[in-house]
Amino acid sequence: MRKEEFVQELSKRLARLGWPTAQIERTAREVSDHWEDLENEGREQGLIPDAIARFATERIGNLESLVGLHDESMRKAHWCGRHPVVSFVLLPPIALLVWFLGWGAMAAAAGELYGKLLGLQHPFWSSFVLVLITAKAIEYTGLFSIAALF
Protein backbone atom coordinates (compact mmCIF):
# COMPACT_ATOMS: atom_id res chain seq x y z
CA MET A 1 0.00 0.00 0.00
CA ARG A 2 1.28 3.46 -0.81
CA LYS A 3 1.82 6.03 1.91
CA GLU A 4 -0.90 8.38 0.63
CA GLU A 5 -3.49 5.58 0.50
CA PHE A 6 -2.57 4.37 3.96
CA VAL A 7 -2.74 7.84 5.53
CA GLN A 8 -6.01 8.63 3.74
CA GLU A 9 -7.62 5.36 4.89
CA LEU A 10 -6.33 5.94 8.44
CA SER A 11 -7.88 9.42 8.44
CA LYS A 12 -11.22 8.09 7.18
CA ARG A 13 -11.39 5.41 9.86
CA LEU A 14 -10.47 7.80 12.64
CA ALA A 15 -13.11 10.24 11.38
CA ARG A 16 -15.71 7.45 11.51
CA LEU A 17 -14.77 6.88 15.14
CA GLY A 18 -15.62 10.52 15.88
CA TRP A 19 -12.17 11.92 16.46
CA PRO A 20 -11.72 15.70 16.27
CA THR A 21 -10.38 16.94 12.94
CA ALA A 22 -7.27 18.49 14.50
CA GLN A 23 -6.36 15.19 16.16
CA ILE A 24 -6.90 13.28 12.90
CA GLU A 25 -4.64 15.69 11.02
CA ARG A 26 -1.96 15.45 13.70
CA THR A 27 -2.08 11.65 13.67
CA ALA A 28 -1.93 11.60 9.86
CA ARG A 29 1.13 13.90 9.91
CA GLU A 30 2.88 11.76 12.51
CA VAL A 31 2.19 8.52 10.60
CA SER A 32 3.31 10.17 7.36
CA ASP A 33 6.54 11.37 9.00
CA HIS A 34 7.15 7.92 10.45
CA TRP A 35 6.51 6.38 7.02
CA GLU A 36 9.10 8.72 5.47
CA ASP A 37 11.60 7.78 8.18
CA LEU A 38 11.04 4.11 7.34
CA GLU A 39 11.49 4.82 3.63
CA ASN A 40 14.78 6.60 4.39
CA GLU A 41 15.86 3.63 6.51
CA GLY A 42 15.05 1.32 3.60
CA ARG A 43 17.10 3.50 1.23
CA GLU A 44 20.03 3.39 3.66
CA GLN A 45 19.83 -0.41 3.60
CA GLY A 46 20.10 -0.27 -0.21
CA LEU A 47 16.61 -1.56 -1.02
CA ILE A 48 14.99 -0.96 -4.42
CA PRO A 49 11.89 1.31 -4.57
CA ASP A 50 9.35 -1.56 -4.51
CA ALA A 51 11.15 -3.19 -1.61
CA ILE A 52 11.27 0.16 0.22
CA ALA A 53 7.47 0.47 -0.02
CA ARG A 54 6.98 -3.12 1.25
CA PHE A 55 9.50 -2.51 4.05
CA ALA A 56 7.67 0.63 5.22
CA THR A 57 4.27 -1.08 4.97
CA GLU A 58 5.43 -4.04 7.04
CA ARG A 59 7.06 -1.86 9.68
CA ILE A 60 4.05 0.48 10.04
CA GLY A 61 1.83 -2.52 10.64
CA ASN A 62 -1.78 -3.42 10.11
CA LEU A 63 -4.17 -0.51 9.62
CA GLU A 64 -6.82 -2.09 11.88
CA SER A 65 -4.44 -2.53 14.80
CA LEU A 66 -3.05 0.99 14.32
CA VAL A 67 -6.56 2.48 14.41
CA GLY A 68 -7.42 0.36 17.47
CA LEU A 69 -4.24 1.43 19.24
CA HIS A 70 -4.84 5.12 18.55
CA ASP A 71 -8.51 4.85 19.55
CA GLU A 72 -7.62 3.16 22.83
CA SER A 73 -4.94 5.76 23.62
CA MET A 74 -7.37 8.61 22.84
CA ARG A 75 -10.00 7.05 25.07
CA LYS A 76 -7.54 6.64 27.95
CA ALA A 77 -6.30 10.20 27.56
CA HIS A 78 -9.53 11.63 29.05
CA TRP A 79 -11.26 11.01 32.36
CA CYS A 80 -14.60 10.23 30.70
CA GLY A 81 -12.93 7.60 28.53
CA ARG A 82 -11.32 5.91 31.52
CA HIS A 83 -14.57 5.94 33.54
CA PRO A 84 -17.46 5.72 31.04
CA VAL A 85 -20.00 4.21 33.46
CA VAL A 86 -19.46 6.95 36.03
CA SER A 87 -19.41 9.68 33.37
CA PHE A 88 -22.46 8.67 31.39
CA VAL A 89 -24.61 6.67 33.82
CA LEU A 90 -24.04 7.91 37.38
CA LEU A 91 -23.10 11.59 37.05
CA PRO A 92 -25.97 12.87 34.84
CA PRO A 93 -28.80 12.00 37.27
CA ILE A 94 -26.76 13.27 40.22
CA ALA A 95 -25.99 16.53 38.41
CA LEU A 96 -29.65 16.93 37.46
CA LEU A 97 -30.76 16.35 41.06
CA VAL A 98 -28.23 18.89 42.37
CA TRP A 99 -29.36 21.34 39.70
CA PHE A 100 -33.05 21.06 40.69
CA LEU A 101 -32.26 21.23 44.41
CA GLY A 102 -30.14 24.33 43.83
CA TRP A 103 -32.92 26.07 41.91
CA GLY A 104 -35.44 25.07 44.58
CA ALA A 105 -33.27 26.33 47.43
CA MET A 106 -32.64 29.59 45.62
CA ALA A 107 -36.37 30.06 44.96
CA ALA A 108 -37.28 29.35 48.59
CA ALA A 109 -34.59 31.66 49.98
CA ALA A 110 -35.49 34.43 47.55
CA GLY A 111 -39.20 34.00 48.32
CA GLU A 112 -38.59 34.31 52.04
CA LEU A 113 -36.47 37.39 51.52
CA TYR A 114 -39.09 38.85 49.17
CA GLY A 115 -41.83 38.20 51.75
CA LYS A 116 -39.88 39.82 54.57
CA LEU A 117 -38.87 42.86 52.53
CA LEU A 118 -42.48 43.55 51.53
CA GLY A 119 -43.76 42.77 55.00
CA LEU A 120 -46.26 40.17 53.80
CA GLN A 121 -48.21 38.22 56.41
CA HIS A 122 -47.92 35.01 54.46
CA PRO A 123 -44.38 34.80 53.07
CA PHE A 124 -45.17 31.34 51.74
CA TRP A 125 -47.43 32.78 49.04
CA SER A 126 -44.82 35.26 47.98
CA SER A 127 -42.31 32.44 47.66
CA PHE A 128 -44.90 30.49 45.68
CA VAL A 129 -45.16 33.37 43.18
CA LEU A 130 -41.36 33.51 42.97
CA VAL A 131 -41.22 29.76 42.40
CA LEU A 132 -43.68 30.16 39.51
CA ILE A 133 -41.52 32.89 37.99
CA THR A 134 -38.39 30.77 38.53
CA ALA A 135 -40.08 27.75 36.95
CA LYS A 136 -40.84 29.85 33.88
CA ALA A 137 -37.19 30.93 33.75
CA ILE A 138 -36.07 27.30 34.10
CA GLU A 139 -38.33 26.41 31.20
CA TYR A 140 -36.32 28.77 28.99
CA THR A 141 -32.86 28.17 30.45
CA GLY A 142 -33.02 24.64 31.83
CA LEU A 143 -32.00 22.67 28.80
CA PHE A 144 -29.13 25.03 28.10
CA SER A 145 -27.95 24.80 31.71
CA ILE A 146 -28.05 21.01 31.68
CA ALA A 147 -26.14 20.94 28.40
CA ALA A 148 -23.55 23.32 29.87
CA LEU A 149 -22.95 20.90 32.75
CA PHE A 150 -21.90 18.20 30.35
pLDDT digits (tens, 9 = 90+) for 48-104: 888 888 888 788 877 788 888 877 887 788 888 888 888 888 888 888 888 888 877
Span of 35-49, 60-74, 93-107, 118-132 with lowest mean pLDDT: 118-132
Burial class (CB in 10 A: 0-12, 13-18, 19+), 5: exposed
The structure's pTM equals: 0.51
Rounded CA separation 18/39 (Å): 30
| Backbone angles phi and psi of 48, in degrees to 5 | -80, 160
- CA-CA distance, 20 to 74, in Å (whole number)? 11
